[in-house]
Amino acid sequence: MKKIISTPLSDEMIASLSCGDQVLISGTIYTARDAAHKRLLEDLNQNKRLPFDIKNQIVFYMGPCPAAPGEVIGPAGPTTSHRMDKYTPKLLSLGLKGMIGKGNRSLEVIESMKKYYDVYFACVGGTGTLCAKHILHSEVIAYSDLGTEAIRKIEVEDFPVFVAIDAKGNNIYESGPEKFRKYLATQNN
Amino acid sequence: MKIVQAKDITQKVAQLCVEINTKLADDIDSTLKKEERQEPYPLARNILSVINENRNLAINARRPICQDTGMVVAFVKYGQEIMIKDGGIEQAIQEGVRQAYCQGYMRKSVVKDPLLRNENTQDNTPAIVHYQIVPGEVLQISVMAKGFGSENTSALKMLKPADGVEGVKHFVLDTIRKGAPNACAPIIAGIGIGGDFEKAALLAKEALFIPLDQHHKKPHLRALEKELLRKVNEMGIGPMGMGGQTTMLGIHVLDYPTHIAGLPVAVNICCYVDRRGTVVF
């Protein structure tokens, strides 16, 4: 069964999400990948205000293809999350509640997620065209000189993800292979 | 002597760049469908069905499968009896890449300086082009649009001769175990064994062009490919690293003679969107 949530995220919502759940997200989310993360942290270090209020928001690690005529956005799937690990604990400490990407996270990130009660979603990598179908609106709101890496505010509808790491630190990249083996064992009995 | 027009090279390379980003090669396409049918774990089967659904959407929309439309790598077999008119081959290929990415609404993912990273080249050039001079009137250009989620998980190691085939297996399996969950599994792996430092890496990349159903001619390397495929798929990593049987779609080894003191091994990992194609003039 798929769980349906909308942004911004609340602690109650996050409490209802467990590792492995399929979730459909609707509402506003923000995109940022390598270069935008670097700049967000530079802004913070210089005591500048962040270009958007990250409190209770979701950041999607994504840099889209340009929109072809008639498109809201070009193909728009997730990029590998661990490249953002270095920057993530700081953003979580400031109130960021959710992340969407793909692949495992560092121990530091998972510890911060437990501390601040956050959730990490994974989207199926390589499915850019499918992801773009769930994006209703897209607008560059910061760092436009970064091109595909600029920060975009996007409206999503029923955006399909899995809970990869929940707020208790349960991690599908750790437990997934083991669960699969147990499943096989029950099937073979 | 055969004459090839530079503009024809540009046009064919541009066409190929768009095509390989939009449509999976037939062998990968059919393998992904087969794996969806055969995968026993429901979550993994679900992920494979999403992958196949996205494949259909991309073909129908004539849009890229993945937003990472890659950095272009080309392997050119340049016959000595070929003459290129009205331009050079390198410029013709780069212009083809430029046209494909700019006119095809594909992502420009190349930064000019790897450390400063403050300027995008804006047209996804330069492509990385490798040339091989061959006899005859053949001109063959194989193009790959290589995604970097998987490229980042690749590795090269200079093993010792005493490490032998067991050392090779250990290094390959270790690299894949660490890399596959972040490399958009189910992956495809290219393994280069022998030569020297850069030759092993080139072989590994070239191996990613080999169709999945084709295997090494040497019995011991064919056996090695088979064993590595089985062992990776026994790891249980599964699609996207979330558990399952389908971790790797195929693995190919290419080998080359090497020095008595060395055993170079390169592992080039590719996601299931192994965008490759060849044009022959």
Chain B residue numbers touching A64 (CB-CB < 8 A)? 67, 107
DSSP-derived letter for residue A89 is H
pLDDT level of residue A77 (50, 70, 90 thresholds): very high
Region A24-30 average pLDDT:
98
Does B48 fall in a domain?
A: no
Round to whole Å and give the CA distance between B275 and B101: 14
Does B235 fall in a domain?
A: yes
Region B252-281 average pLDDT:
97
Chain A residue numbers touching B58 (CB-CB < 8 A)? 75, 128-129
Round to whole Å and give the CA distance between B112 and B120: 6
Does B110 fall in a domain?
A: yes
Does B46 fall in a domain?
A: no
* Residue B123 shares a structural domain with residue B156: no
Nearest-CA distance A148 → chain B (Å):
7
Q: Which residues of B, range 65-124, sit inside 8 Å of A by Cβ?
A: 65-69, 105-109, 117, 120, 122
Nearest-CA distance B99 → chain A (Å):
14
CA dist list (Å): B4 to A85, B7, B89, B92, B97: 49, 9, 10, 11, 18
Which of A37, A82, A134, A137 is the catalytic position? A37
- Which residues is A4 bridged to in the sheet? A24
Subunit contact B50:A127, Cβ cutoff 8 A: yes
* Residue B155 shares a structural domain with residue B142: no
A-B interface: how many C-beta pairs under 8 angstroms? Answer: 156
Subunit contact A184:B272, Cβ cutoff 8 A: no
The predicted structure's pLDDT at residue A1? 81
* Residue B213 shares a structural domain with residue B235: yes
For an interface test with A, give the residue of B20, B177, B240 to mutate (most A CBs within 10 A).
B240
* Residue B154 shares a structural domain with residue B82: no
Is-catalytic flag, A37? yes
Complex ipTM, two decimals?
0.95
* Residue B203 shares a structural domain with residue B159: yes
* Residue B138 shares a structural domain with residue B179: no
Nearest-CA distance A163 → chain B (Å):
11
Chain A residue numbers touching B106 (CB-CB < 8 A)? 65-66, 74
* Residue B14 shares a structural domain with residue B131: yes
Does B155 fall in a domain?
A: yes
Subunit contact A128:B65, Cβ cutoff 8 A: yes
Subunit contact A65:B120, Cβ cutoff 8 A: no
Chain A residue numbers touching B184 (CB-CB < 8 A)? 102, 125-126
The predicted structure's pLDDT at residue A52? 96
Q: From the list B67, B106, B149, which residue is nearest A80 (CB)?
A: B149
Residue of B nearest to A21 (CA): B43
Mean pLDDT of chain B: 97
Chain B residue numbers touching A162 (CB-CB < 8 A)? 242
Give the model confidence (pLDDT) of B221-230 as tens digits: 999 999 999 9
Q: From the list B63, B107, B242, which residue is nearest A129 (CB)?
A: B63
What CATH number is attached to the domain comprising B240?
A: 3.30.1330
Round to whole Å and give the CA distance between A69 and B54: 20
* Residue B77 shares a structural domain with residue B168: no
Subunit contact A148:B44, Cβ cutoff 8 A: no
For an interface test with B, give the residue of A1, A127, A143, A183 to mutate (most B CBs within 10 A).
A127
Mean pLDDT of chain A: 97
Q: What are the start-end ranges of the E strands in chain A?
A: 2-6, 22-31, 58-60, 98-101, 119-122, 135-142, 151-165
Backbone angles phi, psi at B167, to 5 degrees: -65, -40
Chain A residue numbers touching B43 (CB-CB < 8 A)? 20, 176, 180
* Residue B140 shares a structural domain with residue B160: no
The predicted structure's pLDDT at residue B174? 98
Q: From the list A77, A82, A162, which residue is nearest B67 (CB)?
A: A77
With CA atoms as reference, report the closest residue to B107 among B142, B73, B145. B145
Does B101 fall in a domain?
A: yes
The predicted structure's pLDDT at residue A143? 97
B21 and A CB contact within 8 Å: no
Subunit contact B51:A180, Cβ cutoff 8 A: no
CATH 3.40.50.11750 for the A2-188 domain, yes or no: no
* Residue B200 shares a structural domain with residue B115: no
Answer whether residue A189 shows pLDDT above 80.
no
* Residue B196 shares a structural domain with residue B227: yes
pLDDT level of residue A7 (50, 70, 90 thresholds): very high
Region B84-91 average pLDDT:
97
Region B40-68 average pLDDT:
97
The predicted structure's pLDDT at residue A188? 78
Give the model confidence (pLDDT) of B111-136 as tens digits: 999 999 999 999 999 999 999 999 99
Q: Which domain holds residue B73?
A: 2-19+65-146
For residue A109, the SS3 value is helix
Does B125 fall in a domain?
A: yes
Give the model confidence (pLDDT) of A124-150 as tens digits: 999 999 999 999 999 999 999 999 999
pLDDT level of residue B91 (50, 70, 90 thresholds): very high
* Residue B121 shares a structural domain with residue B6: yes
Percent of chain B with pLDDT over 90: 100
Give the model confidence (pLDDT) of B140-174 as tens digits: 999 999 999 999 999 999 999 999 999 999 999 99
End position of a domain, from candidates B121, B146, B171: B146
H or E segment to which residue A88 belongs: helix A88-93
Does B33 fall in a domain?
A: no
Subunit contact A102:B120, Cβ cutoff 8 A: no
Answer whether residue B182 shows pLDDT above 90.
yes
End position of a domain, from candidates B94, B115, B146: B146
What's the number of domains chain B is made of? 2
